[in-house]
Amino acid sequence: MRPFNRNIKRTLALARRLSALGIAIAISLAAKADFSITGSLPRLKPGDSIQVFRENLETRSQVLIGELSVGEDYSFAGKFENEPGLYTLVMPDERKMAIAVSHNQALVFEKDTSSANKYNISGSPDTDDLGAYETFRKDSLARLVYPPRRALNKAREMGEPREKLSELAQLEVEGYNAHLRELNDFVIDRLRTTSALYATSIRWDGDHRLEELRKKIDAFAKGNPDLSITKSMQERLRLFSLAAIGTMGAKLEGQSIDNQPLALEDFLTKVTLLDFWASWCTPCRVENRHYGELLEKYSKNGFAIFAVSLDTNRKMWETASKRDGVTWPQISDLQGWKSPMAAAYNISALPKSFLLDEEGRIIAKNLRGPQLATKLEELLKEE
């Protein structure tokens, strides 16, 4: 009887493994977005190939998942099996088209009769939401950001005094912050719970209506708990809480311009400004010159600056630092937006800065110009 019992046990164990495998396969298949793309677009030729990439916003990278071949009738068709999320179609002439897809969607591309170079996409509510968001985003930029940016660039070209440049830089920063708040409002009030939410996540403002934004993502997660984009959005929300006022800032360490290892915690004083900047960021460059004056005035009272450059080119980082008179400690891994240091503080736009106390706790965020000077006066006034 013992061999028979062993066989039963083996059979039951195998059945359990097969059952578990079946469940795993079912879960895996449920996570796939079985979507198709068909249509015809301007400027395509028979034999052309359209590449389809899946977007990863966290690593700022793309993965090629397939191609669409253009036939003799100038049309294309293809079916893809991948997770719901954000995708980019790259045309033979390098034009790019962003789409957002979910389960069982059939996207159809058609020429727009109003223009030879325009197109319409149907069959995907997710892509409809993405298009509405992008239209609003561009309009918001044009209203709030571009006018002060143009004024600042023109003032720099004309050699306006530093006070004027600082004033215009502050206006650009304020405009961009207002722009981000508008985007949060759009996502919360007008966007549906589609995969297009993932495309908006790189521009979320963690200091504006965060709990309402969290509820929006919770609603998406309820129906899509296992998707990678769900986990990415939840992680971004988690990082917001780690970079909130009153929390301990993340520890940072890296290489200085002269390749010396530096750590933020070694430079903490009574009040430390942690500044994220880059050579290409005009408001950052204007503020650098202001920082030198603040250091001269308040360093004896316990003020210090520690900077993180999000440059990707060492020469540009070095040149900008010399021209701006950056004498305070700074580090960079030359990874730009892909830097883990940027991710640790949820940096998706520049300029960004944090005031830290002597323990590394965040006590204020994104103060610049007169606002920063006033705050330092308050925090470092002699008793």
pLDDT digits (tens, 9 = 90+) for 318-335: 999 999 999 999 999 999
Residue 40 near residue 91, CB atoms below 8 Å: no
Whether 125 maps to a domain, the answer reads no
Q: Which residues contact 265 (CB under 8 A, 6 or more apart)?
A: 251, 360
pTM, rounded to two decimals: 0.82
Regarding whether 110 and 87 lie in a shared domain, the answer is yes
- The CATH number that applies at residue 339 is 3.40.30.10
Whether 311 maps to a domain, the answer reads yes
Position of tokens 């789409």? 99
Q: Last residue of some domain: 67, 90, 116?
A: 116
In tens, the pLDDT along 40-90 reads 887 889 999 999 999 999 888 999 999 999 998 889 999 999 999 999 999
Average pLDDT of the chain to the nearest whole number: 89
Higher-pLDDT residue of 349, 330: 330
- Domain with 343 in it: 253-380
Whether 299 maps to a domain, the answer reads yes
Residue positions counted in the chain: 383
> Both tokens of residue 64?
């090629």
Regarding whether 279 and 177 lie in a shared domain, the answer is no
Whether 48 maps to a domain, the answer reads yes
Strand pairing of 362-365 and 303-309?
A: unpaired
Alpha helices, DSSP H, located in the chain: 2-30, 125-144, 146-157, 162-190, 196-200, 210-223, 228-242, 282-298, 314-324, 340-344, 369-380
What's CA 360's distance to the chain center, in Å? 24
Regarding whether 322 and 236 lie in a shared domain, the answer is no
- The CATH number that applies at residue 111 is 2.60.40.1120
Residue 304 near residue 272, CB atoms below 8 Å: yes
Higher-pLDDT residue of 298, 118: 298
Whether 14 maps to a domain, the answer reads no
Whether 327 maps to a domain, the answer reads yes
Domains identified in the chain, total number = 3
Regarding whether 374 and 259 lie in a shared domain, the answer is yes
Regarding whether 305 and 368 lie in a shared domain, the answer is yes
Whether 230 maps to a domain, the answer reads yes
What is the rounded CA–CA span in Å between residue 127 and residue 133?
A: 10
> Both tokens of residue 298?
């308040």
